[in-house]
Amino acid sequence: MTIVARTLADQVFEIVRERIVTGVLPDDTPVRQDALAHDLGVSKIPLREALARLEQEGLLRSQANRGYVVRALSAEEADEIYALRLAIEPAAGGLGALAADETQRAEALAAFHALDEAANTDLPAVAVCNRHFHTALVRPAGRPLTTQLVERLSILAERYVITHLEPAGRDARAHLEHRLLIDAWMARDAAELERLMRLHLDGTLQDLRAQIGTGGNLVTGPIEAPPL
């Protein structure tokens, strides 16, 4: 029974997470647990477990006597997330490129192809694939704390990644930047990888700043996957 409950909670987590990341559940929207449990056909037990995990990932915030609310994207949070990523990822990726064995190189290449495929067919999956790709570049360095930090920051950045890709042409540019990153990484060119990673992360941050609307929040809305 425990395994089934955990599996169900995982499924609920993924469904609600996708609704938040894609804007189906907009910023500052209260999560109505009774309605959501009924909509998903589950009891409140797996739903509460999933919501707690979503709070840990920074997608929800809890309020006394009000339950959970979808956290709003903000310029300040984007600045902090990407400042930390810029401080950690370029050097960590360079170390990963130098240390990776053949299995890890194959995993990084597979993560790139998964990200590329998601960008063409399943935009909501892009954020997760993007996280896996960036983490795959740093994991081979053998620094578990650094890898955990990169993965955590990538999780926090997922909605910003989706927002960043909304304007026309951004997906093509992201593909090119990721292609250059994996090429430098596979060539074990740590210096070039670091340079490209800084450009990639800083460029994303500058774009996000340009998308900031009134009140300090990023202009967002529901997104749709591109046509096949």
Query: Which CATH superfamily includes the segment(s) 75-215?
Result: GntR ligand-binding domain-like (1.20.120.530)
Q: What is the pLDDT of residues 32-51, one digit of tens each?
A: 989 999 899 998 899 999 99
Q: pTM score > 0.85 for this model?
A: no
Assign 227 a pLDDT band (cuts: 50, 70, 90).
very low
pLDDT higher than 50, residue 87? yes
Q: To the nearest whole number, what is the mean pLDDT of the chain?
A: 86
Higher pLDDT pick, 4 / 175 = 175
**For 2-70, CATH number?**
1.10.10.10
| Per-residue pLDDT reduced to its tens digit, 210-219 | 886 534 444 4
Closest-CA residue to 126 (of 86, 171, 93): 171
Q: Tell me which of 13-22, 106-115, 116-125, 173-182 is least confident.
A: 116-125
pLDDT single digits (tens) 153-191: 998 898 888 888 888 788 889 999 999 999 999 999 999
Question: Residue 63: in which H helix or E strand, if any?
Answer: strand 60-63
Any idea where the domains of the chain sit in the sequence? 2-70, 75-215
Task: Assess whether the region 2-70 and the region 75-215 belong to the same CATH fold.
Answer: no
Helix axes 75-99, 123-138, angle to 10 degrees: 50
Give yes or no for residue 224 having a pLDDT over 60: no
Who has greater pLDDT, 162 or 223?
Answer: 162
In the predicted structure, residue 56 carries a pLDDT above the cut 60 = yes
Mean per-residue pLDDT, 83-102? 97
